[in-house]
Structure 1
């Protein structure tokens, strides 16, 4: 089997070989090349010790020298070069207590997670595949190297990684491997939220995220880091607009959205509050009043728990809040508030979420409200109509000149004027707004003083 490796990788291997050492491209880069995919990066393994690697190359960074990893810089491009090693005990189910360097490639490959990642390649010696990873690639199987229980006890994150690789590659998790995940799922509690978040995000961004989420549920892993999803499973919506339980509706929405992280997270969480806001009317029809508002609260809690950044949390919660804003009788002022809240740059995500929500509900599919919101939003933006306080033709300094002191009442006046302008943008004129402000002040300042 011919594998083409980049010239810079070949150069690193050749330099180490010149000094009498072995060196191989290894892991995911070899797997992806066999699959015809473009690797994100190239890792190299060698029997040269870290100090030798540092001596051999002009520009190096000791990124993981304790574990034998040196980053070699070739024309400002980083490549991780790691000494063959055997891992010691994993008493914390996350990191080896010690690393023992070895001179044998097969011993290094034996410590790796899955057979498809335990393949090495050298231009001179060809492929080294002691655990039949190529066969598993052809069979489209995710299988651990050696005993699955041992591999998951060494690093519990490997359980989620198995599901992630399954999603990304369209592979099936081998039965014994999946059974081992189910038996060891509780170990995931020992893994940091950040590491779980990163793997979960990759699952969400895969071609068929619903398969990954369902495997997380069936394996028992989901209950330990995202238990809020479980009440949706089997939850009958008792509503003619829905023909699926909340969980399977949600999975379908996720699959129907485009692969952008904030959008996929909002698809996952858009109905998270339905089970806690459920009510039945006198005709036996189910309703979920204010589930978007409660959903914002729950989404923020979940995303903070998983250590997502503030920008992502803000985008997701705004999308969750406005996912039901799709009526064809929305006032201009309401649409402008939606644009301001969601952000002009996130409007396409909002529309994609709304359309996916409709497509994942019971037919017939009514997109009229979404089309109306799209059309009116485009019109408002093209006409550069005022959307927020910063667009007002009047500001705090103008109100001070009218005798208003900085404080809460000034904010009340400005917000009143904004409401007027949102509804009637032609009134966004400084002199007109001054007159309106003066009238509002005279009618309301007395009440303000009494408070």
Structure 2
């Protein structure tokens, strides 16, 4: 764990303890520490009520943000690190399969742990009191199992997001799903329809980069079909097999892994894959940039492998920020060997350092064309034509040669 994060987390416990309250690290920070994985943040559970937590830290001089008072959560800034502090609680009925109707604050750490999703996420730790494990979380960590606390059918009925979280943890941690948990997951799969697009997108992006994702996909693709029935990867046994094979050889990088859902097959032609990628990224409310990036990878998935400097230069121009991920996808599709991929990457780096790939690198600009008498409406198109001619080795990237080329290409003003 990062020393600064650890120090902030321990300071949080100390402040609450010195004020007379119980406090423990809980959840992912404890789980990942025991697994030897990087810890991204620290969450604290405490017997202090939210108002008491606020007073405790403000008296100690730490900024406090009331981020979720209804559910007992405040965020404390310690050494510029946000620590979420939540009061021990138990949850009432979940009417919308997502959020509890109300919460009841309690003095019992056991009750607080009992409301959580999986055994491995209900582990608590204190530097003086050690580990609290009420639901065999350590055993499940050792056995590499994702198991719900209590009745898994009830757990998924309470919060449908737990279905995707179960798959995500199995994928990222390399764990198997407990039999009862998996049976309940499939029984309750229709509940996924209540989830927001943002929540689904967040879980999907984390899920697909897990080292065990290929197996999770192969064994649970019916779950995805509830959310995305038109996904190209799910349209036929052939499409499922191709997606699985490609996932297996694709590095755990978000964009190439997501592109594996949109692979061209006999049943899913490229135009269908592009159309579905557009629909999918819109459905999950991807940013415009992320949408563009994924569509580019899908569109260029079967682009001819560059065989010379010109074709490589043109492809880099088309995929300026995604060329490396295109290479990763090509390797996953078995269209490139590691040696061929390494050669293309080295060649692309040399081209980026020496060749003209953008309008900014062109030896002429709009002002030059205006000075040469080019009609303003033609300038943008003429610059693009000039750039293409340079990239295709038709002319050198030299001002005089480019101006001669422009003079040949420009249209008489009366033809506009």
Normalising to structure 1: TM-score of the pair?
A: 0.82
Structure 2 equivalent of residue 400 of structure 1: 370
Q: Using the TM superposition, give the Cα deviation of residue 376 of structure 1 relative to its aligned residue in structure 2, in angstroms.
A: 4.7
The two structures, once aligned, show a CA RMSD in angstroms of: 2.6
**What CA distance in whole angstroms lies between the structure 1 residues aligned with 2:20 and 2:14?**
10
Q: 1:388 to 1:51 in 2, by over 3 A?
A: same
Q: Are positions 1:54 and 2:54 aligned together?
A: yes
| Unaligned runs of at least 5 residues, structure 2 | none
Q: Which residue of 1 aligns with 2:282?
A: 304
SS of the equivalent of 2:231 reads helix
Give deviations 1:336-374, integer Å, cap 9, x for gaps.
Answer: 23112211x432222222122116xxxxx7678757754
User: Who is 1:445 aligned against?
Assistant: 412
Q: How does 1:368-383 map to 2 (within 5 A)?
A: 373-374=344-345, 376-382=347-353
Asked whether 1:16 is paired with 2:16, we answer: yes
Q: Quick one: distance in 2 between partners of 1:272 and 1:88?
A: 47
Counterparts of 2:17 and 2:342 in 1: how far apart (Å)? Answer: 63
1:173, distance to aligned residue in structure 2 (A)? 0.9
Deviation at 1:223, TM superposition (A): 2.7
CA–CA distance in structure 2, aligned partners of residues 185 and 106 of structure 1: 29
Secondary structure in structure 2 of the residue aligned to 1:44: strand
8 Å contact kept, 1:328–1:368: no
Q: Deviations over 1:119-173 (max 9, x none)?
A: 2223333332222222222222211111112111111000011111111222211
Matched with 2:237 is 234
Which range is displaced more, 205-214 or 106-115? 205-214
The 8 Å contact of residues 358 and 367 in structure 1, kept in 2 or not, is answered as no
Partner of 1:288: none
Q: Is the 8 A contact 2:50 2:74 kept in 1?
A: yes
Matches within 5 A, 1:108-147: 108-147=112-151
CA-CA distance at 1:330 after TM superposition: 5.1
SS where residue 12 of structure 1 aligns?
helix
Q: What is aligned with 1:247?
A: 240
Q: Secondary structure at the match of 1:358?
A: coil
What SS does structure 1 have at the residue aligned with 2:149?
coil
Distance in 2, Cα, partners of 1:366 & 1:261: 21
Unaligned runs of 5+ in 1: 236-245, 278-290, 360-364
Corresponding residue number in structure 2 for 1:206: 210
Match of 2:267 among 275, 282, 286: 275
Q: Please tell me whether residue 431 in structure 1 is matched to residue 409 in structure 2.
A: no
Number of aligned residue pairs: 408
Conserved in 1, the CA contact under 8 Å of 2:98 and 2:158? yes
The aligned residue for residue 185 of structure 1 is 189
Structure 2: distance between partners of 1:35 and 1:327: 42
Partner of residue 255, structure 2: 262
Question: Secondary structure of 1:92's partner?
Answer: coil
State the Cα deviation string for residues 393-434 of structure 1 (Å, max 9, x = none).
Answer: 223333334443222x43333333233222227522222222
Deviation per CA, 1:177-233: give whole Å up to 9, x if none.
111111111111101111111111111111122123234414x34331464145443
Q: Distance in 1 between matches of 2:181 and 2:266?
A: 34
Q: Which residue of 2 aligns with 1:413?
A: 382
Query: Does the aligned pair in 1 maintain the 2:278–2:295 contact within 8 Å?
Result: yes
1:84 matches 2:88: yes
Partner of 1:281: none
Distance 1:79 1:152, change over 3 A: same
Aligned-partner Cα distance in 2 for 1:411–1:39: 50
Task: Give the 3-state SS of the residue equivalent to 1:323 in structure 2.
Answer: coil
Partner of 1:346: 322
Partner of 2:355: 385
Counterpart residue number, 2:25? 25
